[in-house]
Amino acid sequence: MRNLLLIIMLAGSQMLSAQYIPDENSSSEPEKKPPVISAPWTQKPKDEVQKPPIGAAEDAQVEYVIELLFEHMRNADAQGVQSVFTSDARLMGTTLENGRPTIRNTAIRDFANRIGQAKPGALDEQITAIEVRIDENLASAWVDYNFYYEGNFHHCGVDAVQLHKGASGWKIFQLADTQRKDCENPADEINTVMNGWHEAATRADARAYFDRMHDTGIFLGTDETENWDKEEFYNFAKPYFDKGRAWDFTTKERNVFFSEGGDVAWFNELLETWMGPCRGSGVLTKDASGEWRIDQYNLAMLVPNDLVQDYIALRKSKGR
């Protein structure tokens, strides 16, 4: 599954536990990590949270309630947020104030009202891991999360969620969190891998370049015949690498996406090449050692819309 909630609310100089929601009276802004290329990490659009089927395991029902909370937050749905909590629920954030550990409490109604004032889609809590334990009508969930404000990575942490199962099902009666800045944008690792892959071609380092591909990896080139497995691609590229003249692609922009479990990544990137602007896209998964490797890469030349007819005419003139 994915990760849980809570963000930093700023109300003047007082910090309240829960998500980051800018206060109209505050000049504070979320800390934005600079993009690795020229665009921040973007994520797969969220599908509507699906309710577990009747008879589903209790842990699935607990996870659904937590997922539903985050969906309501993304939708800026104040009433929906309140609906997943008990009326006397507690929302707490653990912080450091002047170097001393402090707990801040926020009323659920106040929290929900602040969520309702946000722009839909601005508050995005992403679960990266979750562990649920249940005994009778008591459930506890330990949730690792990354939080994004208006598409920009803001902070990470852990949410400790406690739920009770009553007549209307599972509801949250207590939620506490940590918020940390000492965490990395999950896309940084993918950017490092892909930047290194392109750099390996620039310096004609065949070993580094092809080791980054899975043994079952596929390379799709700009020619319709270039649908190569790893061995075929290596045989094509080897003469260029042997001469010390491979290719020099410079990434101008990259957008990275992850599966819910974080074990599959896919991306698209804008490239500056000797052919002019190109677009690359691909898929990566982790190998047995936990290293990201390329399963597929697709390189495409870009044809401006106003030149498409000229391009079609050129192909026809060449009998293609």
Residue 55 CB neighbours (<10 A):
5
Q: With a cut of 70, say whether residue 248 has pLDDT above it.
A: yes
The answer for 200, left when phi > 0, alpha when psi is -120 to 50, beta otherwise, is alpha
> Which pTM does this prediction carry?
0.56
User: How far apart (Å, rounded) are the C-alpha atoms in residues 174 and 299?
Assistant: 50
Q: 179 and 155 in contact (C-beta within 8 Å)?
A: yes
Check residue 28 and give its pLDDT: 41
Check residue 81 and give its pLDDT: 96
CATH of 8-178, one of 3.30.310.80, 3.30.70.3190, 3.30.1360.40, 3.10.450.50: 3.10.450.50
Q: 16 and 109 in contact (C-beta within 8 Å)?
A: no
pLDDT confidence tier of residue 194, bands split at 50, 70 and 90: very high
> Mean of the pLDDT values across residues 267-295?
95
Q: What share of the chain is helix, strand, coil (3-state, %, to 5)?
A: 25, 40, 35
Q: With a cut of 60, say whether residue 217 has pLDDT above it.
A: yes
Check residue 35 and give its pLDDT: 35
More confident call, 261 vs 6: 261
CATH of 187-306, one of 3.40.640.10, 3.10.450.50, 3.40.630.10, 3.30.870.10: 3.10.450.50
Check residue 32 and give its pLDDT: 39
Check residue 49 and give its pLDDT: 78
Residue 34 CB neighbours (<10 A):
8
Q: With a cut of 90, say whether residue 150 has pLDDT above it.
A: no
Check residue 52 and give its pLDDT: 84
Q: 93 and 8 in contact (C-beta within 8 Å)?
A: yes
Mean pLDDT over the full length of the chain: 84
More confident call, 32 vs 180: 180
Check residue 47 and give its pLDDT: 58
Rg (CA), the chain: 24
% of the chain with per-residue pLDDT over 90: 63
Check residue 285 and give its pLDDT: 96
Q: With a cut of 70, say whether residue 144 has pLDDT above it.
A: yes
> Mean of the pLDDT values across residues 264-277?
94
Model pLDDT for residues 96-106, shown as the tens digit of each residue:
778 888 888 99
Domain locations in the chain? 8-178, 187-306
Check residue 80 and give its pLDDT: 96
Q: With a cut of 80, say whether residue 13 has pLDDT above it.
A: no
pLDDT confidence tier of residue 192, bands split at 50, 70 and 90: very high
Q: Could you give the angle at the alpha carbon of 107 between the alpha carbons of 104 and 112, nearest 5°?
A: 115
> Mean of the pLDDT values across residues 84-108?
89
Q: With a cut of 70, say whether residue 130 has pLDDT above it.
A: yes
Check residue 29 and give its pLDDT: 42
Check residue 181 and give its pLDDT: 79
Check residue 152 and give its pLDDT: 79
8-178 and 187-306, same CATH topology: yes
More confident call, 99 vs 192: 192
Model pLDDT for residues 20-74, shown as the tens digit of each residue:
444 433 334 444 333 333 333 444 445 577 788 777 799 999 999 999 999 999 9
Residues present in the chain in total: 320
Check residue 46 and give its pLDDT: 54
